Structure 1
Amino acid sequence: MRTSEEIYHRVRWDPRFDPARFVLGIALRGRPPKRVPLASFVPGGEIPWHRIVFVEADGELVWDRATGVDRIDSSDAGRVLDPRRLRAPFFTAKAPYAWDGLAWSPVRSIHDGHYGDSRLRVLTWNVLWDRYDRDRIDTASRRPRLVSELERAEADVIALQEVEGTLLKLLLAAPWIRSNYVVSEVSDRSIDVNGLLLLSRVPVRESGFHALGSHKGVVAFVVETAAGPVTIATTHLTSDHHAQGPALRDTELAALNDGLSDVDIPVVLLGDFNDGTALPADTLHLTDVWTETHGVDDQTPTFDPVGNPLAAVSSLTGRPSRLDRVLTRSLRPVHASLLRAPVSDHYGVEAELLVGKDDSAVLDSPATTRTAVAWLSPVDQPVVDSLRRSHDP
């Protein structure tokens, strides 16, 4: 019989196993063992190896200290059905969670078939944590309004940054999230480390995490869209509040580029890049959805100390900047807009991407590498008419 340490490393590094589908039983004094996702276990951390008393995969017991059971090689439980897209060593497998009617439980499988139509609607929002300027940002009233804004957005995938344990509890208790979304994290303690959270109503095939620093990282889902799997990830890079902010961002972007270059399916990367230049998209060889849909000259800020009082509280320079971005590879941008509700120091950025076959509603003529696509509301029509008249001969 192998040791618990040997079983852990076998599952963690053998590509034939999916770590996200394994659970460790941790012995507790005077109580039944606690079930902990294998992907959340930290070797050499607070829990010693001898306290692991059993290992389950897909609900099946595959290793048990007390009885000597060791069936990890003879059982099909926990075996990879499809090759992982979020590969080690860059990504560490994590368990996504869904509400089962009683609790948030690890997702073991997805529904058969594909989700939705040819459009994928995504939303990213830095939601302003309560670590600084607590007496000036009215967090108690902001958070419920934020949850309402997220519900109204009806995005297929939501990426949040600066999430704290109290906000996580509020989100996980929301009926609309419980009934429709899979989430990347349910632990207060874990969310407080980097503040990153993904929510998806598109079926989630796998989840992964990579640490970019002590409090920085990237959280990713592989979701099953109408056209097949797509990787959707969120990150939050170091700001200029840190003395070495620009240099650290360069290092973080380089790491992201290395990790995402190994992903062989379409990619959507959302988050707060803390950089108002085109550097993130250029370094990562990704398309900036806002630039594609609004043009290179449009620098509409997502962090605006002039127009947003919450941004004025934390701004170092008072300058508006476009810090929050939706970047993509191999998907066509259709639309991008801001959510300007005064619930954070950042505005939310929502985008619509074409993931299936082209349709006539997207373009009147075939797209080229120089095509910029923008959807205009009726209130914009007078502006369009004026521009047309100014260019008439």
Structure 2
Amino acid sequence: MDLKNKEVVVVGLGASGVAALRLLKRQGAKARATEVSAKDSVACLAEGLRREGFFIETGRHTEAFLKGASLIVTSPGVADSSFVIRWAGKNNVKVIDEIELAYNFCKPPIVAITGTNGKTTTTSLIGHILLKGGINNIVCGNIGKAFSGEISKLKKSSVCVLEASSFQLSRIDRFRPKVAVFLNATQNHLDRHADFKEYFNAKMRIFQNQTKSDYAVLNSEDKNIVKATKNIRAKKIFFSPDNENALFNPGDLQIKGRHNVENALAAAWAAYALGVKPRAIVDAVKTFRGLEHRCEYVRKVEGVNFINDSKSTTVDSAIKALACCSGAVILIAGGRDKNSDFSVLRKHLKNKVKAVVLIGEAREKIRGSVGDIVKTKKADSLEEAVINARNMAKSGESVLLSPMCASFDMFDDYKHRGRVFKKIVKGL
């Protein structure tokens, strides 16, 4: 991709937007950025970027700022309904995601991971296995570090381990991973995608440019994925906890739950496809301790276990977290709804969940979906929710924060939500 002297507009000043700006500058493009937010933190960031020589628009997107652009690079949070996307369509200006931009300048092979649940755990575990196998790698993408910001650090002998969301994949063009992993697909992001089919098809784009020399690592227990595999050209590797040809003993895993066995199997086969020996894979899965905010044990208070699963932003992830808990559970849930169907949770609450403490914008919707089969209590803050849950719990039971929702109604992100929960619990 030759971008020298090309006018390129980056949309969004999150981590990926800022990284894209700087990558574009290194490639000789005339890059500028537009950001709809006018928060003080954004204004401060914009001022710093202006000192680096960039033109920055904040507080709005305007046609005057976009005029003359030959390429638009988006951050994952930019919806199709955005003024910029509509303007680009009207004016026949190409739109790509930041991972597509970075891909064009990435020389090492890429292993890309997508799915509704388990992406971050699997991505991190692949990086861990590759290191145990003697392969230098950089973990980036939707996991937190922007792909564009890591390009200069990647060596030819490295591997790029990239977590990819449906939003990112929906705007790729030439992006082609050496190994593509599709973990699972359940309802998610229906506040952005028209329906499940559109969401699923966006995920499937991870395979669209692969050839017979590449690898597709697929969950054989996901019916939607299995049905869609006939159009995948890459070599297919299927994984399942029930497969006797597993590369390791699931009992060796420190992370618990059937879903984590699936995550580990996907990671193991992805690493194997890249040449890691089985012995190194076994050693790696034995030493992987899991990640913060994912079924993370916080502490025990008067016999009650407190568990931080703030990364749970889907109903399915909460169901999997419940399966990992022994004894009765007081569930803390709620936040910003992603147009989820909370009624799916009903059968998993019976004989398992003693009560649900509800927070955030979605609390009335969740209560309407499950309130007739389980005790519910509303709280106006996470601190109030934790105190209520503690008062309801008895020794031997667990208080589980597994929100099933996005965090942006009350917190900066799921990490902020999880840190606040842990601080509250440690102060009990």
Q: TM-score scaled by structure 1?
A: 0.33
Greater per-residue helix proportion = 2
Structure with bigger RCO (C-alpha 8 Å, 6+ apart): 1
